[in-house]
Amino acid sequence: MSAADRLDHTMLALADPTRRAILSRLAKGEARVTDLAAPFEISLNSVSKHIRILERAHLVTRRRLGREHFLSRNARALDEAAAWIDGLRHHWNQRLDRLERALERRS
């Protein structure tokens, strides 16, 4: 899978408030599907689907212990997304810097 495909999945995974809340919750450490679902009014099934989207983006990883599935955070994909956005921000700013320097030379 290409870097572009990975970014597609990561950004899409981040484009939902339930999934962002799940990621925040995982800062506290591993949690079961039921634990992650508790704060929300949606069905366990829906949460399970959100988790699958987070897994596809490699934002979380799963560890099975008996009948319980423990989810934990995975920093790699988040780092990639942050790197892409920061790269674009710097790209945009560099252009602005060049414009400013050009304007200074004319004045």
Partner DNA sequence: GATATATTCACCCTAAAGTATGAATATGTC
Partner DNA sequence: GACATATTCATACTTTAGGGTGAATATATC
Q: Which residues bind DNA (CB under 7 A)?
A: 12, 15-16, 18, 32-34, 41-46, 48-51, 53, 62, 65-70
Q: Is 15 in the site for its own copies (CB under 8 A)?
A: yes
12 or 83: whose CB is closer to DNA? 12
Helix axes 3-14, 17-25, angle to 10 degrees: 90
According to CB under 8 A, which one of 42, 46, 85, 97 is a site residue for its own copies? 85
Q: Is 84 in the site for its own copies (CB under 8 A)?
A: yes
Q: Compute the least distance from the CB of residue 26 to DNA, in Å.
A: 13
24 or 94: whose CB is closer to DNA? 24
Question: Which of 66, 76, 75 has the alpha carbon at shortest distance from 32?
Answer: 66
CB 59 within 8 A of CB 78: yes
Alpha helices in the chain (DSSP H): 3-14, 17-25, 33-37, 44-56, 75-106
